[in-house]
């Protein structure tokens, strides 16, 4: 089943940082994602997943969707999952969020993100995000 996710980020001067969360089952650094609920838009799902998994609120950049295949690991196998990620400008990060007892958060500069990201799955996604940097930065500055 297709999932929807976010690339939570913030910009300070020329630096872009991405917020990773740990996966629930294995504690690996991933980006928030989940199944879209019935009658929920992609944008609404992004806001919900961002708050539930990472405790962040912000702006979804719906003009820059990036669809990739992510490998979902279970105890016995791996399954390919199609995920559409949207850049998500973090405007607020709270200390109390629904999955705070299940996940950790970690900010990484975009240059360091490929070393933090779990698996090869996330590296092309991060590269794609980085290739959109000029447009994402311009859009983010309009929202700040």
Per residue in 123-138, pLDDT (tens digit) is 899 999 999 999 999 9
What's the pLDDT at 14?
84
| Whether this model's pTM surpasses 0.75 | yes
Q: What confidence tier does 89 reach under pLDDT thresholds 50, 70, 90?
A: very high
Task: Give the DSSP per-residue string, 23-66.
Answer: -TTT--EE--EEEPPTT--HHHHHHHHIIIII-EEEEE-TT--E
Domain ranges of the chain: 3-143
Q: Does domain 3-143 have CATH number 3.90.79.10?
A: yes
Residue 74 has pLDDT above 80, yes or no: no
């Amino acid at each position: 089943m297709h999932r929807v996710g976010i690339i939570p980020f913030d910009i300070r001067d020329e630096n872009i940082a991405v917020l990773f969360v740990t996966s629930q089952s294995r504690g690996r650094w991933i980006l928030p994602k989940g199944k879209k609920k019935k009658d929920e838009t992609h944008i609404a799902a992004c806001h919900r997943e961002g708050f539930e998994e990472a405790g962040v609120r912000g702006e979804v950049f719906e003009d820059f969707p990036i669809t990739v295949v992510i490998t979902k690991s279970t105890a016995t196998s791996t399954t390919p999952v199609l995920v559409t990620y949207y850049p998500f400008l973090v405007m607020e990060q709270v200390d109390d969020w629904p999955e705070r007892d299940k996940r950790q958060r970690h900010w990484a500069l975009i240059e360091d993100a490929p070393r933090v990201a779990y698996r090869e799955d996330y590296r092309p996604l991060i590269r794609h995000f980085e290739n959109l940097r000029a447009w994402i930065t311009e859009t983010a500055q309009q929202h700040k």
